[in-house]
Each structure stands twice: as structure tokens, then as C-alpha cells.
Amino acid sequence: MLYRKALKAEPDNLIITANMAAFLLAADAKKNMEEGLTMLDRVLYSSGILEREPDLALECWFYALIYKPLDRYYESLKGVKLAYRTGARAHGKRNMTHYALVFIY
């Protein structure tokens, strides 16, 4: 898989990590759930993600809202709201910002 090769070359690249997490979660959520959520958490809880990559943070919190267990829903919703309120927008991600607005207001 191309994402695995890219991560091997750049293991600290949060954008590649987020893309790999999204791919794993969307491809077959049950089969890849644990690995995808672990990668997603790696991005979400990396130091200063909201300040350095606010749009990426919004995207990842939105994935968390969709894929994390229900008992983590409010944590994920809080992350989406915080990222959106700090000015993050999901550029190039069709309708994601609109979905986020539904949860915020």
C-alpha cells in the first residue's frame, strides 16, 4: 500500500498519517478499526496540532466523530467545535464543513 511506503519514508508526517487513518477506517471499518483509530489518535493528540495544522485537526476530529465509539462522541464533538471556532476549514473536502456546522449550531 502506498500510504505504508510513504509513512516508512516519513514516519512523523501527520498528513500522511491522517490520510492512512482515513483510508483504513473507510475501507473496511471493522477489519482496520483499531489501527485506523490508533493512527487518528496519533494525529489528534500530537503536540500543537491545532496551531500548526488547524484544517487537518478539523478533518481528523470529524473522522473521530464518525468512527470513534459512542462514549467518545462528546470528546470528538468538542474537538470539531474547537477546531472550527479557531478558524479551521476543510478545504477541498466536499461538504465536510457543512456537516461540521450541523454539529456545532
Mean pLDDT of 62-69: 92
Whether pLDDT at 69 is above 60: yes
Whether pLDDT at 96 is above 60: no
The domain segmentation of the chain, as residue ranges, is: 2-104
Whole-number percent of the chain with pLDDT over 70: 83
Mean pLDDT of 17-26: 92
The greatest distance separating any two alpha carbons of the chain, rounded to the nearest whole angstrom, comes to: 41
Of 56, 53, 72, 54, the closest CA to residue 64 belongs to 72
Quick one: pLDDT at residue 105? 47
Q: Report the alpha-carbon angle 78-68-60, nearest 5.
A: 60
Whether pLDDT at 39 is above 50: yes
Distance CA 4, CA 47 (A): 23
Mean pLDDT of 59-88: 90
Of 85, 88, 100, 9, the closest CA to residue 49 belongs to 88
What is the residue-averaged pLDDT of the chain? 84
